[in-house]
């Protein structure tokens, strides 16, 4: 899973191009979520709460919850979005409890997981209706890293990324377990909105 330091560095980077890309990503993500009018949101792998903060600022008013493995990240998230609830918790444990949420988010996490396919199944168990996920859009994400001199020896690949999907591959991957409905272009990421199968 993404390191707490890496996630903060990405969101707080002073590079104007990177800030513009992340700002655009958050805008499209907020549009997706607002269109679904969720009654309750869970973000799995919420990190320091940047995504839930963006949703709140965009006008999402429903109860929001976040879980993450990192105690330090959760502490930052609580300070960033004080009206949301956060916990250090494993999504698999939460899913086994039977607790379900109207909309479940997993943003920039699946690429870090050895068994990403089983995690999609966990997200499906946690959701009553909607699942929104994103990953880097390869090979463009790596190419941009390489061009800006990041992870040169790995040809632009972030060492924490162990899964790699093109936009079409990721749609097929998620579509094995969920019904994919929307895939807005948010370069250099792939963002999908899907529904749980009845």
Per-residue pLDDT of the chain (198 residues; tens, 9 = 90+): 454 546 766 666 667 878 888 999 999 999 999 999 999 999 999 999 999 999 999 999 999 999 999 999 999 999 999 999 999 999 999 999 999 999 999 999 999 999 999 999 999 999 999 999 999 998 877 757 555 656 666 555 666 789 999 999 999 999 999 999 999 999 999 999 999 998
Beta carbons of 103 and 38 less than 8 angstroms apart:
yes
- Going along the chain from its start, the domains and CATH numbers come out as 4-196 (3.40.50.150)
Res 148: pLDDT: 64
3-state SS, residue 97: coil
The pLDDT of residue 1: 46
What local confidence, expressed as pLDDT, does residue 75 receive? Answer: 97
Helical residues (DSSP H) of 82-127, grouped into ranges: 91-96, 116-126
Judge contact between 110 and 170, C-beta under 8 A.
Answer: no
Measured CA to CA, the distance from residue 33 to residue 182 in angstroms comes to 11
Phi, psi of 139 (to 5 degrees): -90, 10
Task: Give the pLDDT of residue 160.
Answer: 76
Residues 76/49, Cβ–Cβ less than 8 Å: yes
Q: Quick one: pLDDT at residue 136?
A: 94
pLDDT on residue 5:
47
pLDDT score for 147 = 55
Identify any residues that bridge with 180 across adjacent strands, giving them in sequence order: 194
């Amino acid at each position: 899973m993404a390191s707490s330091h890496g996630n903060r560095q990405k969101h707080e980077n002073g590079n104007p191009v990177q800030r513009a890309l992340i700002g655009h990503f958050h805008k499209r993500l907020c549009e997706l979520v607002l269109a679904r009018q969720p009654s309750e949101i869970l973000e799995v792998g919420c990190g320091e709460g940047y995504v839930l903060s963006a949703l709140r600022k965009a006008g999402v008013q429903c109860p929001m919850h976040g879980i993450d493995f990192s105690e330090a990240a959760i502490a930052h998230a609580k300070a960033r979005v004080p009206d949301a609830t956060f916990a250090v918790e494993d999504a698999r444990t939460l899913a086994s409890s039977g607790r379900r949420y109207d909309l479940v988010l997993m943003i920039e996490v699946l690429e870090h997981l050895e068994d990403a396919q089983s995690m999609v199944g966990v997200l499906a168990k946690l959701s009553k209706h909607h699942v929104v996920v994103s990953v880097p859009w390869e090979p463009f994400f790596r190419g941009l890293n390489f061009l800006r001199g990041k992870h040169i020896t790995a040809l632009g690949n972030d060492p924490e990324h162990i899964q790699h999907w093109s936009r079409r591959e990721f749609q097929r991957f998620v579509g094995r377990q969920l019904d994919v409905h929307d895939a807005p272009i948010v370069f250099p990421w792939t963002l999908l909105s899907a529904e749980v199968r009845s």
